[in-house]
Amino acid sequence: MMEELLADFVAETREMLEAVGGELVAWEAEPETGERLDAIFRFVHTVKGNCGFFDFPRLEKLSHAAEDALADCRNGDRQPDQQLVSAVLAVIDRISDMIDAIEAGEDFHAADDEALIDALSPDAAPSASPAPASSSDAATKGAKAASGPRSIRLPVNLLDRVMSGVSDMVLARNDLARRLRENGDQPTIDGPFERLSAILADVRDAITRMRMQRIETLFTSFPRLARDLSNELGKQVMIDVEGGEVELDREMIEMIRDPMTHIIRNAIDHGIETPSERLSKGKREIGLLKISARQAGNRITIAIEDDGKGIDGERVLAKAIEKGLIDSEDGARMAPAERRRLIFTPGLSTAEEVSEISGRGVGMDVVRANVERVGGSIELDSTIGSGTRILLRLPLTLSIIPALTVECGGQRFALPRASVEELVSGKRDHVEFAQVGDSLLATLRGRRVACLSLADILGVEARKSVEDATLVLLRLPGGDLFAISVDQILDHEELVVKPIAPAVMGTGLYAGTTLLDDGSPVLLLDVAGLARDADISVDTRTPNEADEDKAATDADAPREPVLLFIGLDGRRRAIRMNVVSRIESLDPSAIDISGGGAQVVIGEHILPLAGLGEGIPADTADSAKLGLFRIEDGQSEMAYAFSEIIDTAAIEQDIIPSESVGEIEGLTLIGGEATELVDSHWLFASHARVARVGEAPVCRLPLDDPWSRQLLRPLVEAAGYRVIGQDDDEDAAIALAAVESGGETPRAGRVIWLRSSPEAAVDGPESIYRYDRAGLIAALGDARSGGGR
Boundary (domain end) residue, out of 505, 534, 552 = 552
pLDDT recorded at residue 140: 45
pLDDT tens for 116-139 read: 888 888 776 655 555 554 444 444
The parent domain of residue 563 ranges over 558-690
Within this chain, do residues 185 and 166 fall inside the same structural domain, yes or no?
yes
pLDDT recorded at residue 616: 64
Q: Is the pLDDT of residue 151 over 70?
A: no
Within this chain, do residues 462 and 599 fall inside the same structural domain, yes or no?
no
Asked if the structure places residue 654 within a domain, the reply is yes
DSSP states of 110-178: ---HHHHHHHTSTT--GGGSPPPPPHHHHHHHHHHHHHS-------HHHHHHHHHHHHHHHHHHHHHHH
Query: Per-residue pLDDT averaged across 327-346, rounded?
Result: 81
Within this chain, do residues 497 and 605 fall inside the same structural domain, yes or no?
no
Query: Per-residue pLDDT averaged across 35-62, rounded?
Result: 79
Asked if the structure places residue 405 within a domain, the reply is no
Backbone angles phi, psi at 477, to 5 degrees: -55, -35
Please state the domain count of the chain.
6
Boundary (domain end) residue, out of 529, 552, 575 = 552
pLDDT recorded at residue 280: 92
| This model's pTM is above 0.75 | no
pLDDT recorded at residue 306: 93
What CATH number did the domain enclosing 344 receive? Answer: 3.30.565.10
pLDDT recorded at residue 359: 39
pLDDT recorded at residue 307: 92
Question: What span, in angstroms and rounded, lies between the C-alpha atoms of 585 and 613?
Answer: 19
Residue with the bigger pLDDT between 34 and 684: it is: 684
> Are 112 and 119 a contacting pair, CB within 8 Å?
no
Q: Is the pLDDT of residue 442 over 70?
A: yes
Query: Per-residue pLDDT averaged across 308-322, rounded?
Result: 87
Within this chain, do residues 381 and 246 fall inside the same structural domain, yes or no?
yes
Within this chain, do residues 684 and 713 fall inside the same structural domain, yes or no?
no
> Are 316 and 365 a contacting pair, CB within 8 Å?
no
Question: What span, in angstroms and rounded, lies between the C-alpha atoms of 546 and 525?
Answer: 26
pLDDT recorded at residue 34: 74
Within this chain, do residues 377 and 236 fall inside the same structural domain, yes or no?
yes
Asked if the structure places residue 117 within a domain, the reply is yes
Q: Is the pLDDT of residue 143 over 70?
A: no
pLDDT grade, residue 723 (50/70/90)? very high
What CATH number did the domain enclosing 70 receive? Answer: 1.20.120.160
Query: Per-residue pLDDT averaged across 64-81, rounded?
Result: 84
Query: Could you tell me what percent of the chain has a pLDDT over 70?
Result: 78
pLDDT recorded at residue 191: 76
Asked if the structure places residue 402 within a domain, the reply is no
**Average model confidence (pLDDT) across the chain:** 77
pLDDT recorded at residue 534: 76
Within this chain, do residues 95 and 124 fall inside the same structural domain, yes or no?
yes
Within this chain, do residues 772 and 720 fall inside the same structural domain, yes or no?
yes
Q: How many residues does the chain have?
A: 789
pLDDT tens for 74-114 read: 888 888 777 888 888 888 888 888 888 888 777 776 666 78
Residue with the bigger pLDDT between 53 and 119: it is: 119
pLDDT grade, residue 559 (50/70/90)? low
782-to-441, 687, 750, 752, 769 alpha-carbon distances in Å: 56, 11, 11, 11, 17
pLDDT tens for 577-631 read: 888 877 887 777 778 776 557 888 877 677 888 888 766 655 554 455 788 888 8
Asked if the structure places residue 407 within a domain, the reply is no
Which among 772, 779, 775 has a CA at the least distance from the CA of 699? 779
Residue with the bigger pLDDT between 492 and 162: it is: 162
Within this chain, do residues 122 and 203 fall inside the same structural domain, yes or no?
no
Within this chain, do residues 27 and 58 fall inside the same structural domain, yes or no?
yes
Residue 113, number of CB atoms within 10 A of its CB: 17
Within this chain, do residues 199 and 228 fall inside the same structural domain, yes or no?
no
What CATH number did the domain enclosing 481 receive? Answer: 2.40.50.180
Q: Is the pLDDT of residue 492 over 90?
A: no
Within this chain, do residues 602 and 574 fall inside the same structural domain, yes or no?
yes
Q: What contacts 92, CB < 8 A, 6 or more positions away?
A: 17, 20, 21, 24, 43, 66, 132
Boundary (domain end) residue, out of 188, 210, 232 = 210
pLDDT tens for 276-293 read: 999 999 999 999 999 999
pLDDT recorded at residue 604: 65
